[in-house]
Amino acid sequence: MTLTPTTAPVRVGFLGAGLIATYHSKSLRRSGAAVSRAGVYDPHAERAAAFAAASGHTVYPSEDAVIADCDAVYICTWTNEHARLLAKAVAAGRHVFCEKPLAFTTAEALQMAQAAQAAGVTHQVGLVLRRSPAYLWAKHLIDEPAAGRVMTVVFRDDQFIPIQGHYASTWRADRSLVGAGTLLEHSIHDVDMLRYLVGDVRRLSAHTENFHGHDGIEDVATALLRFADGATGTLTSVWHDNLARPSLRRVEVFCERRHIVIEGDDWFGPVTWTDADGTAGSLADDALAAAVAPMRDGSDNPDGEFIRAIVEGRAATPDLFTAVEAHRIVDAIYASAAADGRALDVPAADLTTVT
């Protein structure tokens, strides 16, 4: 179905009022997007009230009331509610921003994407690193002919298990609510970035471990990846108990004639590189943002860009189908781990859309 422009301001509602909802609410404010704060619903009344007091939203008595009184809705609940709430929202013709992961499995994630496509609404997923200046600049460095082909990538992601500390997301220890652990819940970002930086994954081998003992919640996942163009890579994802390390990534990309490192802040680097001729560079913070500005479609604010897509009547980026691609690789990693690390081909994409 064809998207149509919408008059600003866009009335925005929230389903879920926890940490990630607060992040998106603040991000909307920083973006300067033309929005009107509509309803918020959370089964924890005190949490909804605190969110409303801080954001300017109004606590509504039900999820249906929020959906009925907005143009666009943010789904920021635990994962097992995403599909049900998205189905309600798109059936009502509401534009949808759904947090990652979309669902427990690729099949369910694809159904969600198809439903949003069929409803003719703008849909976006919370794979926010797609707008990170650090990853955008790294992609630019990789794609330059001077770099040569990507040979291998080393991607490490660690954070303290988010059932504690400032995350305080105790539900992430409940398999019925979250589906799985560090790979699905957190490192789906990393899988998406590996696809963005290097390309699609065609074959892999993986292992997972559970040190904390929460049923079905792995806290270590490691994968050996082979990309479609012949490059290889490793992904290591860890949930530990070191509260001094809240969420840290380090990415090394080895090209034939260039070495690239992303570390520090996910958004503003630094990104450093060294070339075969001995030249080197490093960009961070404002200089990094300025360097990528001519390359980007819009701003580095994912929430402002969601609203802009709605107003302009066009598709948002990244949309739910982007998430489906990441889910496909995540499912294959879990399948390999369940088979004690047996190497498996990643099934080809089936991103059938509805027109």
**pLDDT over threshold 80, residue 1:** no
CATH second-level architecture of 130-307+329-336? 2-Layer Sandwich (3.30)
3-state secondary structure at position 268: coil
Write out pLDDT tens, residues 257-289. 999 999 999 999 999 999 999 999 999 999 999
Six-digit token string for 202: 């065609």
The per-residue pLDDT for 200 is: 97
Q: Give the pLDDT band of residue 8 (cuts 50, 70, 90).
A: confident
CB 103 within 8 A of CB 331: no
Q: What is the CA radius of gyration of the chain?
A: 20
The encoded tokens of residue 331 equal 């499912």
**What digits encode the pLDDT tens for the residues 229-244?**
999 999 999 999 999 9
pLDDT value of position 7:
85
Q: How far apart are CA 266 and CA 111, in angstroms?
A: 30
CATH topology of domain 10-128: Rossmann fold (3.40.50)
- For 246, other C-beta atoms within 10 Å of its C-beta total 13
Averaged pLDDT, 291-304: 93
What are the DSSP calls for 233-255, one per residue?
EEEEEEEES-TT-SSEEEEEEEE
In the chain, what are the domain boundaries? 10-128, 130-307+329-336
Cα distance between the two ends of the chain: 5
The reported pTM is: 0.95
Q: Is the pLDDT of residue 355 over 70?
A: no
pLDDT at residue 282 in the model: 98
Whether residue 120 is predicted with pLDDT greater than 90 in this model: the reply is yes
Closest residue by Cα to residue 60 from 129, 11, 9: 11
Percent of the chain scored above 90 by pLDDT? 93
For residue 159, pLDDT over 70 is answered with yes
Q: What percent of the chain has pLDDT over 70?
A: 97
Residue whose C-alpha is closest to residue 132's, from 35, 197, 75? 197
262 sits in the region (left: phi over 0; alpha: psi -120 to 50; else beta) called beta
- Please tell me the predicted confidence (pLDDT) of residue 197: 98
Measure CA 354 to chain center.
Answer: 23
Q: Which two tokens stand for residue 340?
A: 């004690």
Contact (CB, 8 A) for 332 and 183: no
Averaged over 96-103, what is the pLDDT? Answer: 98
Average pLDDT, the chain: 96
At 351 the pLDDT is 61
pLDDT tens string 31-77: 999 999 999 999 999 999 999 999 999 999 999 999 999 999 999 99
